[in-house]
Structure 1
Amino acid sequence: MVDVIPAPVGVVPDAAGGSVPLPADTALVAGPGTEGVARWLRATVGAATGLALPEDAGRPHRIELDIDPELPPEGYRLALDAHPLRIRGGSAAGVFWGAQTLRQLLGPDAFRRAPVRPGRDWELPAVTVEDAPRFRWRGLMLDVARHFMPKEGVLRYLDLMAAHKLNVFHFHLTDDQGWRVEIKRYPRLTQTGAWRARTKLGHRASPLWDERPHGGYYTQDDIREIVAYAAERHITVVPEIDVPGHSQAAIAAHPELGNTDVVDTAALDVWDTWGISANILAPTDTVLRFYEGVFEEVLELFPSEFVHVGGDECRKEQWTESVTAKTRVADLGLRDEDALQSWFIGHFDAWLTARGRRLIGWDEILEGGLAPGAAVSSWRGYGGGVAAARAGHDVVMCPEQHVYLDHRQAPGEDEPVPIGFVRTLEDVYRFEPVPDGLTEAEAAHVLGTQANVWTEVMEDTGRVDYQVFPRLAAFAEVAWSPLPAPAARDFAGFSRRMTAHYGRLDALGVAYRPPTGPRPWQRRPGVLGRPIEGPPPNR
């Protein structure tokens, strides 16, 4: 039985059945271009099993890694019918995903950091696995602005992503409640903007506060380490720097960035509660030059094709009152403040394009028009993604009603700080990223899909684990596997495979939500959430 998650495209058992041993003298032979995968196998599977896996092509028991350009770029063929065992991929990434499958087939103990039974006999099922992903963008967005996750936690989440064959890490680095990336030319962004005096506990309507200061940030060397660590796992890191809304932390550090003719921006602090702040960036040349400086350093740190600029939930009250903003609207011949936001986003789209990068933003950036090369993260349902695809823009589907993992997992009162819609494990498993009604050409603009994790009510990695898992396993299968229509999906079969997968998560130390509900220490009695009643909108 092959309990692999996400489900492979095809599994063919050996005609003779049975298993193939992995004895203590097993070697690991890396073909050209697969050396990084070999290092990963020795560091993880080698550490867990106690196998040294030396490079020795002469040993009869060996695992061979090779690139086969005839396979799809991220596809692989894992042949475990007899020694030598072979992992072939269309690229190094394909070989790596094949190695992840091999690790799963070894059982949960292969996910530990050291052998729990030294000297045990290891074996693999005698099968051949043919596999390739459905989508090129299989993402997880992690918000570290609301609650900071130390670097070690981020590296751990990259490992968890890799274990589920996810390949895009959307790193939400700035917001009203914190600025998390060092910008050397503007040190106050982290000296001031990375710290808030206290934190709202629960939904913003809650009367409770954590009176301890909260914050933290990643140095540029931390970021380089994170990006390199991700690259070794064939994960692309896409940074997000929010403009022009969700910017109070930046304005608190640099008051000149705000609408100074409307608000005493020098009196602003990093925001300590949740919601959508009215304090947004001023539409001035000073602000444009400032953020060009920010993005210059961001581009040096992140080699990704895409750079996310946010663009969502930008309240316009201050622009409506600002003489400076009104003058800008008139000088540019714009119709209103909504068009002014489109101009603001358009400036950075052109700036990034000139430097060989592509802008991506939340679906509000469609309002007022969007340059041809820009892409859209469709979060307010499917509508933005449909509109973007029909207009010729690439799309990442991440509708909040389906794949916001901060939303509660069950309707019960025991769910900690219940937020949003009820999205069960089965609900996520039945999510379909490609909306109905698109032509084949329009559907080709759907780059893939992404699960989003907003951390207002997730104060530590244990709370993040609880919200993310096990639902990320279901999401990973949606993003990777060629599943049938949602109603026809075999959730019972997925649940059976999850029985084995829970053992892997246990070995990895993931504090997931058990199928029976939260454990007593995972609950948050008395902390107010924001439940939304009723089913989510249909696609």
Structure 2
Amino acid sequence: MTTIPAPSRLVPAGGHFVLTAATRLTADARLGRAAAWLREALGPATGLPLPEGPGGIELRLGEGLGPEEYRLTVTTESVLIEAAAPAGAFYGAQTLRQLLDPAAFRAGRTGDRTWSVPAVRIADAPRYAWRGCLIDVARHFLAKNDLLRYIDLLAAHKLNVLHLHLTDDQGWRLEIRKYPKLTEVGAWRRESPRGHVRHGLLDGRPHGGFYSQDDIREIVSYAADRFVTVVPEIDLPGHTQAAIAAYPELGNLGTPLDVRTEWGVGENVINVSDETIAFFLDVLEEVLELFPGEYVCVGGDEVPKTQWNDSLPAKERMRELGLRDAEELQSWLMRHFTDYLLARGRKPLGWDELLEGGLPAGVTVAAWRGDRCAALAARAGHDVVVSPFAETYLDFRQADGDQEPVPIGSVTSLGAVHAFDPVPAGLTENERGRILGAQAALWTEHIDSPRLLDYMAFPRLAAFAEAVWSGRRDFEDFLTRLATHEKRLDALGVEYRPAGGPHPWQRRPDAPGHPVSRAAIDDKLAAWTANLRP
């Protein structure tokens, strides 16, 4: 069988179940969403109506199963999906679709064919509850319809979290009613770097876009129907130049700024006044109205302290509060936002730099700087989402050589992603339980179109999905299954990276990158984490 991700247990049987115009689809009322999705997904390509009623495919409540677990039994006479909850039934339906010809993934009929499913018994459940993908829409905006398409792609691979990086120095992408300049001013920049910033090339082309609040409601609803939770990120207190450009009083310099047109870590951070804190609490109030999920990310990463160290009001705030340094000032500032979310019944998520100044209980850590940060967070009693940049950042180049488009970072190969294990070595059983799961990341400084996003994401995102769903480590078997899976991606119009390297039109000789060695990445990682306290 060629399903991706591979199921936990699969036993082939003899024969096939053939779908015909007489095949019916029935479901327990609690599993109706999965049944509706299956009918909508298969209808356009197969032309089969799958009317309600017994006599073919059944979605039935099953006992002793977890919320995302399912059993799929196909005989020559019937198809049975058993699940205890709607999500499990949905994942069973996704597997059933993969057992059909790849043409089942097309949006319309391509000719007459026999639609059949091989007889099989599958028992399947995920290793991790958090199976996510971050998409950075702040650096390069992804139009709503393209984002909805990616939600379908995540769901097709049994990924269940979309982390939306909505704000950064280079753009603010979320409508906030109380502060309209965040999108009127902050949602566009004059131009962008062309290739890596070290080459000093700019494209001279304005870039922008944002999601209206109704867009967000649509996106969240669409995702929920596919059992994907959208986690918004409002990055604080750094990565905030777009917000400061819109409202200069949020900054430390007292002078107007433009939305940033360079990549990298910017010096401009918000100030620590009561008014600025109130401003972003207002922002979070509207965020909570739009995103009903448990988690809200408040950033906390890559915060230069230069402006605070030079700011008289910041120094006075530190003196008033008895804080030793700007690291503790950041912790004090961020507690306003994490405490606010906790008081509202939400779970704040923040990047692992928050560990450096002390982190209150109840904050979940997104560990991007390697196993050491993930282990420290787990040992400190925090839930952890693992996202190590050297293993799961899919903006890193996929191979050596100058053929890769805008090559940056070290090589993150398909095999390395497939071999990824979220749990750091040396944790106790209790500490291992703190690892909620993992997420891949598509940072878009150098990904300026949906076509390039496809190239960087796939097939590596399929390998990542297998790592966090079943954790099967047989890479050769994965490659065998991938040969069929690529036909599904073809049917969906996904412009993935071919195994032999990019097509000519997927290359970017006009946008030079800056590849580095894995040794250089490891040295940088060691420097970043050298002073972390256990």
Q: TM-score, structure 1 length as denominator?
A: 0.95
5 Å-filtered alignment, 1:77-476, equals 77-118=71-112, 120-259=113-252, 263-266=253-256, 268-476=257-465
> What RMSD, in angstroms, separates the aligned Cα atoms of the two structures?
1.2
Unaligned runs of 5+ in 2: 527-534
Q: What's the offset of the Cα at 1:369?
A: 1.1
Shift of 1:69: 4.1
Shift in Å at residue 526 of structure 1? 3.9
The CA distance in 1 between the partners of 2:248 and 2:44, in whole Å, is: 51
- Comparing 162-171 with 474-483, greater Cα deviation is found at 474-483
2:43 alignment partner, one of 42, 46, 49:
46
CA distance in 2, matches of 1:192, 1:78: 52
Of 496, 499, 502, the residue aligned with 1:518 is: 502
Aligned partner of 1:478 among 467, 477, 494: 467
Quote the residue 2:529 is aligned against: none
> How far is 1:490 from its partner?
1.4
Contact residue 67 and residue 85 of structure 2 kept, 8 A:
yes
For the 8 Å contact 1:251–1:265, the answer to whether it is kept is no
Deviation of the 1:32 alpha carbon: 1.7
One-letter code of the match for 1:114?
G
Cα separation, 1, equivalents of 2:36 and 2:313: 56
Q: State the 1:511 CA deviation.
A: 0.7
Q: Give CA-to-partner distance per residue, 1:69-97, whole Å, 9 cap, x none.
A: 42111000011114331111121000000
8 A Cα contact 1:206 1:527, kept in partner: no
Partner of 2:488: 504
Q: Which letter does structure 2 place at the counterpart of 1:417?
A: V
> 1:529 maps to which residue?
513
Q: Is the 8 A contact 1:37 1:92 kept in 2?
A: yes
The residue that corresponds to 2:532 in the other structure is none
Note if contact 1:32-1:67 (Cα within 8 Å) is conserved in structure 2.
no
> One-letter code of the match for 1:41?
L
| Separation in 2, partners of 1:407, 1:89 | 38
Paired AA for residue 180 in structure 1: R
Aligned residue identity for 2:37: W
Per mean C-alpha deviation after superposition, the further-off stretch among 528-537 and 373-382 is 528-537
In 2, are the aligned partners of 1:252 and 1:265 still within 8 Å (CA)? Answer: no
Counterpart in the other structure of 1:11: 10
CA contact (8 A) 2:15 2:76 kept: no
Q: Deviations over 1:445-497 (max 9, x none)?
A: 000000011000111000111111010010000010043xxxxx211111001
Structure 1 CA distance, aligned partners of 2:76 and 2:214?
44
Q: Which moved more, 1:158-167 or 1:38-47?
A: 38-47
Query: In the alignment, which of 24, 38, 54 is matched to residue 27 of structure 1?
Result: 24
SS in 2 for 1:297: helix
Name the amino acid aligned to 2:24.
A
Render the CA deviation track for 1:516-536: whole Å, top value 9, x for unaligned: 000000001142212111356
Secondary structure of the corresponding residue to residue 166 of structure 1: coil
Contact kept in structure 1, 2:15 and 2:75, CA below 8 Å = no
- SS of corresponding position for 1:6: coil
Deviates more, 1:342-351 or 1:82-91: 82-91
- The SS at the match of 1:252 is helix
Aligned-partner SS, 2:398: coil
Return the letter of the residue paired with 1:474: A
C-alpha distance in 2 between matches for 1:94 and 1:204:
45
For 1:387-424, what per-residue CA distance to the aligned partner results, in whole angstroms no more than 9, with x for missing partners? Answer: 00001100001000100000000001101110101011
Q: Given that residues 101 and 115 in structure 2 are in contact (C-alpha distance below 8 angstroms), is that contact kept between their aligned partners in structure 1?
A: no
2:64 corresponds, among 70, 82, 96, to 70
Aligned residue pairs total 523
2:48 matches 1:55: no
Equivalents in 1 of 2:432, 2:53: separation in Å?
47
- SS of structure 2 residue aligned to 1:126: strand
CA distance in 1, matches of 2:34, 2:199: 48
**1:490 maps to what in 2?**
474
Q: Which residue of structure 2 aligns with residue 486 of structure 1?
A: none
What is the alpha-carbon distance in structure 2 between the residues aligned to residue 69 and residue 330 of structure 1?
Answer: 60
Once residues 442 and 33 of structure 1 are traced to their aligned partners in structure 2, the CA distance between those partners, rounded to angstroms, is 35
SS in 2 for 1:54: coil
Task: Tell whether the 8 Å contact from 1:372 to 1:393 is kept in structure 2 after alignment.
Answer: yes
Amino acid at match of 1:295: L
In the alignment, structure 1 segments of 5+ residues that lack a partner are 484-488
The equivalent residue for 2:530 is none
Residue identity over aligned pairs, in percent, reads 55
Cα deviation per residue 1:341-388 (whole Å; 9 max; x = unaligned)?
011111111110100001111100111111111010000111111000
Does structure 1 conserve the Cα–Cα contact (< 8 Å) formed by 2:347 and 2:363?
A: yes
